[in-house]
Structure 1
Amino acid sequence: MTTELISRLLQSDTAVGSWTLDPARTTVRISHKTLWGMATVKGAFADVRGAGELGSDHSVTGTITVGAASIDTKNATRDTHLRSARFLDVERYPDIVVTVKSARTTGEAIELSGELTIKGVREPVTLIVEITALARTTLAAHVTGRVDRHRFGVSGNQLGMIIGPATIDVDAVFTRA
């Protein structure tokens, strides 16, 4: 991403308006260290939807909703366990929600501040965004962040095998609403 794209996004009227997430061109991935840090479990969510708004005052707001049951780690047994009440509890809490409340530039990236809700627990979250493409009708971004799952009551850590925070990695494409 270049400083020019950040400037065009947050410092001009180029991108002012409403944007809708394109689920067909968006990928939400997670990874987490396991086996005491010797291996990494990776997964992706297939169900993602959302929208955002860039105000004329260059404010940024939006909501991204991820269907928790759509987790896929390429291991059916593990996925069933992740969907269970011990982890994501998808029967009671079908959605993981990110609500963006503000943004600020940090050199070559944008820092989004907002809230993440998992299993009904709402916690502050900071995400780093790199704008990868910006056209009149399309905005593409790479978003990263780290989340401590214990803050959300996502446990099930047998023998201390799962350590540290989970990494969120998103390639998102928005189209002008």
Structure 2
Amino acid sequence: MTKSIWKVDAVHSEISFSVKHMMISRAKGTFNDFDGTIEADLDALTNAKIELTVDVNSIDTRNKDRDDHLRSADFFDTEKFPKATFVSKEINKKSETNYGVVGDLTLRGTTKPITVAVELGGQSKDPMSGNMVAGFNGETSISRKDFGLTWNQTLETGGVLVGDEVKLSFAIEAHKQG
């Protein structure tokens, strides 16, 4: 079969993260502005190409002061590095609907390979537009220090304010083009 272009529908998709806060709980947030394309034959996803771009300024943790701090040079430094990107390099089939997607994540000017566990949720015809729509869900964990996100504060009770491991997850709805 031939590959089709699938465009990420940000309105029906979500990219979120969580990180340990004060060693006892998790701070969570989302990125509200992103886009991407998937060039794929859904019956042969190991040959797909995935590209995703996130506007890091769109970070939303439901706290303006924290979001502003995350945009600052202490963390994402969005004036210098306004975008994060992911580009797939290799896709390995794990089961009928599960894949390991290896690709390059670029964040804060640093590019590192990561592996994302991805599940193909299926496909359906959109009753409004008549277009085919596919769903993808996934998650991975990264070390924020690997990407130059090293700011932290020591707690008087021991430990640190912000954990190193960041859990990333997404639910993507993509619309077939053409």
| CA shift for structure 1 position 25 | 0.8
Query: 1:60 is matched with which residue: 32, 48, 57?
Result: 48
Structure 2 CA distance for aligned equivalents of residues 112 and 68 of structure 1 = 22
| CA shift for structure 1 position 57 | 8.7
| CA shift for structure 1 position 161 | 2.0
Structure 1 equivalent of residue 120 of structure 2: 131
Alignment of 1:7-156 (within 5 A): 13=1, 16-36=3-23, 38-54=24-40, 58-107=46-95, 108-135=97-124, 137-156=132-151
Percent identical pairs in the alignment equals 26
**Runs of at least 5 residues in structure 1 that lack an aligned partner in the other structure:** 1-12
Task: Select the structure that is richer in helix.
Answer: 1
Letter in 2 for 1:64: L
Structure 2 CA distance for aligned equivalents of residues 44 and 147 of structure 1 = 16
Structure 1 CA distance for aligned equivalents of residues 7 and 75 of structure 2 = 30
Structure 1 equivalent of residue 176 of structure 2: 176
Structure 2 CA distance for aligned equivalents of residues 53 and 80 of structure 1 = 35
SS of the residue 2:162 aligns to = coil
Change (3 A) 1:72 1:48: same
Letter in 2 for 1:143: G
Structure 2 CA distance for aligned equivalents of residues 57 and 134 of structure 1 = 13
TM-score (structure 2 length as normaliser):
0.86
**Runs of at least 5 residues in structure 2 that lack an aligned partner in the other structure:** 126-131, 155-159
| CA shift for structure 1 position 46 | 0.5
Structure 1 CA distance for aligned equivalents of residues 29 and 150 of structure 2 = 17
**Runs of 4+, deviation exceeding 3 Å:** 55-58
Superposition CA RMSD, Å: 1.7
Q: How many residues align?
A: 163
Moved more, 103-112 or 145-154: 103-112
Structure 1 CA distance for aligned equivalents of residues 143 and 47 of structure 2 = 27
| CA shift for structure 1 position 34 | 1.4
| CA shift for structure 1 position 26 | 0.9
Contact 1:145–1:168 at 8 Å: present in 2 too?
yes
